[in-house]
Amino acid sequence: MKQTLFDKIWDSHVVKELDDGTSLIYLDRIFIHERTGSIALTSLKDQGRPVRNPAHVFATMDHIVDTLPGRGDSTLMPGGEEFIKTMRVEANDAGLTLFDINDPRHGITHIISAEQGITLPGLVAACPDSHTCTLGGLGAIGWGVGTSDCEHALATETLRAVKPKQLRVRFDGELRPGVTAKDMVLHLIGKYTASGARGHAMEYAGPAVEALDIEARFTLCNMAVEFSAFTGIIAPDEKTISYVQGRPYAPAGEAWQQSLEFWNSLQSDSDAVFDKEISIDCADIAPTISWGTSPEHSIPVTAVVPELDHAVSEETRDQMRSAMEYMGLEPGQALIGLPIDGAFIGSCTNARLSDLRAAATILDGKKVAKHVRAICTPGSRLIKEAAEAEGIDEIFLDAGFEWREPGCSLCFNAGGESFGPEQRVVTSTNRNFRGRQGRKTRSHLASPASVAAAAIAGRIADVREMS
């Protein structure tokens, strides 16, 4: 029977098919962070249950840590310091590899899991974070789980689930100037809604996906969860193998050669059947930005806020109306030229070296508008150091950005820091939900280059006019 890429990985990890229709799946890697991982470890200890395989479990401090220079355990989040200290104690007691705050390998969970070669093509990796699907950019199954499932995973190296249906999304043609992976996925969600992949695992395919570098593929897969997919995945190729080779936890020697043979088999068979297919012509994609309070509220930057009579149902119309009220917008209003108060570049979606380079190209020799607070948080210590070696930090600082330490930071307001009420922010993050970057803060999702363009202009701008 012909198989999809997802079939090949999932089926090879089935420990047992259970009577209730679920599968017990083996987990190759488990990654935890201080916000929920500390809770799971403490609960296991209270039950007298050990971590089954500490060598396959990795931990970091990313969700609650402050990103200000000179940081320590103290955070702006009330009670945050206790999460950090608890994680440190419990991870060390359990014998886990911990990327602590001052570890030179420290960073955001999904970024360092790939950066260190912990997650590899063909593996199943779980983490109590919905954006674990990021790791599909390497041809792995990234599985975001809840805290109770995390406990089960730590204790057994397995999780139980119903195998999802499968969706293939093809991006055909070539990307136009100024269009990035972030624009591709915002266009997809904007066209097919935030529930477009519900109940499905999603494979990205097509020539435009194949042309992307690995860091851009991470961005695509990162936002599969915003499309309601179980996970997102891209078949590994020579770019993938080149990315993985030589990383600290990657195989070497004879194990490398054996891995290559396996990785080269990780593509969907030519006649594999998907439950659902979507095809997108890249000629239809422009630099894209969100206008509302869901990633599905995304439109070309040159478009206008949709009219309410475009809604497909009364419920959708009510949701659109509510989103416009929250965002301070009106139907038919243009986004171009809308004044902003803040600009943020960071998160597991868009805080890699290529993202910082793209933004620096726009910022070089220019200044952020005086009324705009602009912040950049690199995704890991290694990314930050690589950017500094290239002088990217100086470009950001000279332009007027704050240059921060790695962490989730202003992606979801858990660190205690936020933009102000009703402040309008253009952000490279993955979610524009109400309050995501602060109480009543109005967040517009965009690519890092588009964020940089808006910061300079002091308003939402078309990045193509500044390139």
pLDDT in tens, 378-406: 999 999 999 999 999 999 999 999 999 99
What residue ranges do the domains of the chain occupy? Answer: 5-161, 165-249+259-284, 289-465
Over range 20-44, report the average pLDDT.
96
**pTM score, two decimals?**
0.97
Query: What is the C-alpha separation between 37 and 433, in angstroms, rounded?
Result: 24
**370: how many CB neighbours lie within 10 A of its CB?**
7
Asked if 5-161 and 165-249+259-284 have one fold, the answer is: no
Half-sphere exposure of 264 (CA within 13 A, CB side): 6
- Is-contact 132 143, C-beta < 8 A? yes
Per-residue exposure over 385-423, b if at least 16 CB sit within 10 Å of its own CB, e if not: ebbeeeebbebbeebbbebbbbbbbbbbbbbebbbeeeb
pLDDT score, position 20: 95
> Comparing C-alpha atoms, which of 216, 465, 466 is closest to residue 362?
466
For range 89-107, the mean pLDDT: 97
- Average pLDDT on 13-28 reads 97
What pLDDT score was predicted for residue 311?
87
- Between the CA of residue 384 and those of 21, 38, 352, 424, what are the distances in Å? 46, 26, 9, 27
Q: How confident is the model at residue 467, as a pLDDT?
A: 67
Find all residues with CB under 8 Å of 145, minimum gap 6, and list them: 126, 127, 128, 132, 153, 159
Fold assignment, 289-465: Aconitase; domain 3 (3.30.499)
pLDDT at 261 over 90: yes
The contacts found for 313-318 with CB under 8 angstroms, 24 or more apart, are none
* Mean pLDDT along residues 171-199: 98
The answer for residues whose C-beta is within 8 angstroms of residue 255's C-beta and 6 or more apart is none
| Proportion of the chain above pLDDT 90, given as a percent | 96
Domain 5-161: CATH superfamily is Aconitase, domain 3 (3.30.499.10)
CB-based burial, 175-198: b 16+ in 10 Å, e otherwise: beebbbbbbbbbbbbbebbbebbe
Segment among 159-163, 309-313, 450-454 with least mean pLDDT: 309-313
Strand (E) or helix (H) holding 182: helix 181-192
Over residues 231-235, mean pLDDT: 98
For the segment 239-268, the average pLDDT, to the nearest whole number, is: 97
Q: What is the pLDDT of residue 413?
A: 72
Residue 416 confidence (pLDDT): 76
Given a cut of 70, is residue 17 above it in pLDDT?
A: yes
Q: State how far the Cα of 36 lies from the Cα of 43, in Å rounded to an integer.
A: 11
Residues 399-452: pLDDT tens digits? Answer: 999 999 999 989 977 667 899 999 999 999 999 999 999 999 999 999 999 999
Distance CA 220, CA 234 (A): 9
DSSP-assigned letter for residue 162: P
pLDDT on residue 415:
61
Length of the chain: 467
Q: Tell me the average pLDDT across 252-276.
A: 96
The CATH superfamily label for domain 165-249+259-284 reads Aconitase, Domain 2 (3.40.1060.10)
Residue-averaged pLDDT of the chain: 96
Answer whether residue 96 shows pLDDT above 80: yes
Res 414: pLDDT: 65
As given in the structure block, the two tokens for residue 226 are: 């915003």
Q: 3-state DSSP call for residue 17? A: strand
Cα 232 to Cα 243: distance, rounded to the nearest angstrom: 19
